[in-house]
């Protein structure tokens, strides 16, 4: 199969989207050649059967110029190569731009979407896609008649347990952007309550705000000061995706405070893959957490409940916490492993391409007989 991939950001060092390079590498192992059109490009680290083209956001190109670049690259690829299928990952606008060009050529389009927002762009991309895929059913908020669930795509070889000693005092970790959706002020309130109850622990916030002068980031910093947590909370800033493992391994637990109806948080699953209990208020994690869900899922917006769940983990022995971590890792490997996701995506693309192949074979046979 010769595959066309649309990708939002292709940069192995990007703190948020660095994981997409590993997706590209996994897909490349399963196809003959992979063309990647990306909105923004940084350091490219891909196999020899992959070629990456950027529409120029990293160069400051305007939206109209990026659209022109997109079509220039797309038509060049279609002119020079035979494309069997297209996978649009995290970038519905590229689905919309490309579908009118690809459909007449019988090139199926599969679009990835994992977000709780239903936008006009999503609706149109859904209509123009042959199939849509997502990490689980709760992560796709629109019509599910075209939906195929493939898991979150966690690199469980990179994110794995290690022998590094845990921090002392215990480290509570939160990985992700500093934005209102992450509910970090609630986490700070829970830490404050725990310290009032005599627990000594520290917290690391790994990630940056979309804008360093963002008002919410300032609100979080002011909250730290107001609760007298300056010595307990560390603002780490952005960390390259492949360097996150060392943070997960140092922590006794990870916390994700996104809303209950939020899509599955990738960092929470990465922490689980590293064998760490991962607390969350997102109800979609219940299946992955299995028998540990009641211990790990807390009520969104309720710092007292979160504090109790953290306290429960602190009171466990190291062996008991490790047992939870082993179980959670097994669940992530079973349902969200990157290699399995790549298998599922390529199989789906191949099945959509088969009718077109049969049509071409019939047409060729008719020509020969005539």
109 forms beta bridges with: 86
Give the separation between CA 241 and CA 11, rounded to whole angstroms.
10
CA–CA distance, 185 with 179 (Å, rounded to integer): 10
Q: pTM of the full predicted structure?
A: 0.91
Reading the chain (370 residues) residue by residue, the pLDDT tens digits are 999 999 999 999 999 999 999 999 999 999 999 999 999 999 999 999 999 999 999 999 999 999 999 999 999 999 999 999 999 999 999 999 999 999 999 999 999 999 888 999 999 999 999 999 999 888 899 999 999 999 999 999 999 998 888 899 999 999 998 989 899 999 999 999 999 999 999 999 999 876 655 888 899 999 999 999 999 999 999 999 989 999 999 999 999 999 888 888 999 999 999 999 999 999 999 999 999 999 999 999 999 999 999 999 999 999 999 999 999 999 999 999 999 999 999 999 999 986 655 544 444 444 444 4
- DSSP one-letter string for 283-311: GGGHHHHGGGHHHHB--TT-HHHHHHHHH
Q: With b meaning 16 or more CB within 10 Å and e meaning fewer, what string describes 3-34?
A: bbbbbbbbbbebbbbbbbbbbbbbbbebbebb
Helix and strand counts by DSSP (H, E) for the chain: 13, 12
Beta strands in 119-212, from DSSP E residues, in sequence order: 131-134, 147-149, 171-175, 202-206
Q: Which residues contact 300 (CB under 8 A, 6 or more apart)?
A: 183, 257, 258, 259, 260, 281
The rounded distance, in Å, linking the Cα atoms of 248 and 240 is: 13
Rounded CA separation 28/59 (Å)? 27
Element (H, E) at 3: strand 2-10
Instruction: Please report the domains of the chain, with CATH numbers, ordered by start residue.
Output: 2-153+338-369 (3.40.50.2000), 171-335 (3.40.50.2000)
**11, 17 in Cβ contact below 8 A?**
yes
| Whole-angstrom distance, CA of residue 258 vs CA of residue 131 | 28
Q: Is the backbone peptide bond immediately before 74 cis, with ω within 30 degrees of 0?
A: no
Please give the Cα distance from 312 to 104 (Å, whole number): 58
């Amino acid at each position: 199969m010769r595959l066309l991939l649309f990708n939002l950001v292709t940069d192995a060092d990007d703190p948020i989207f660095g994981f997409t390079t590993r997706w590209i590498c996994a897909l490349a192992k399963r196809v003959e050649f992979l063309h990647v059109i990306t909105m923004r490009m940084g350091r490219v680290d891909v196999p020899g059967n992959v070629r990456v083209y950027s529409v120029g956001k990293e160069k400051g190109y305007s939206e109209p110029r990026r659209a022109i670049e997109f079509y220039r690259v797309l038509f060049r690829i279609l002119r020079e190569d035979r494309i069997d299928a297209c996978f649009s990952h995290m970038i519905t606008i590229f689905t919309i731009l490309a579908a009118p060009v690809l459909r007449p050529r019988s090139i199926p389009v599969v679009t990835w979407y994992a977000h709780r927002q239903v936008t006009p762009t999503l609706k149109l991309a859904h209509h123009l896609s042959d199939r849509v895929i997502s990490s689980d059913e709760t992560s796709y908020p629109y019509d599910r008649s075209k939906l195929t669930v493939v898991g979150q795509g966690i690199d469980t070889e990179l994110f794995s347990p290690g022998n590094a000693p845990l921090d002392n005092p215990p480290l509570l970790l939160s990985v992700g952007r500093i934005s209102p959706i992450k509910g970090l002020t609630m986490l700070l309130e829970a830490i404050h309550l725990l310290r009032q109850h005599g627990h000594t622990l520290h917290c690391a916030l790994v990630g940056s705000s979309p804008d360093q002068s963002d008002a919410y980031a300032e609100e979080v910093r002011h909250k730290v000061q107001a609760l007298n947590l300056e010595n307990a909370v560390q603002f780490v800033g952005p960390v390259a995706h492949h360097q996150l493992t060392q943070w997960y391994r140092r922590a006794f637990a990870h916390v994700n405070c996104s809303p209950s109806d939020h899509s599955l948080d990738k960092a929470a699953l990465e922490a689980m893959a590293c064998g760490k209990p991962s607390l969350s208020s997102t109800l979609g994690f219940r299946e992955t957490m299995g028998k540990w869900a009641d211990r790990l899922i807390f009520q969104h917006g309720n710092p007292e409940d979160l504090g109790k769940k953290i306290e429960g983990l602190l009171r466990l022995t190291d062996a008991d916490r490790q047992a939870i971590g082993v179980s959670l890792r097994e669940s992530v490997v079973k349902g969200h492993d990157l290699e399995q996701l790549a298998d599922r995506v390529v199989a789906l693309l191949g099945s959509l391409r088969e009718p077109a192949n049969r049509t071409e074979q019939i047409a060729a046979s008719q020509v020969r007989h005539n």
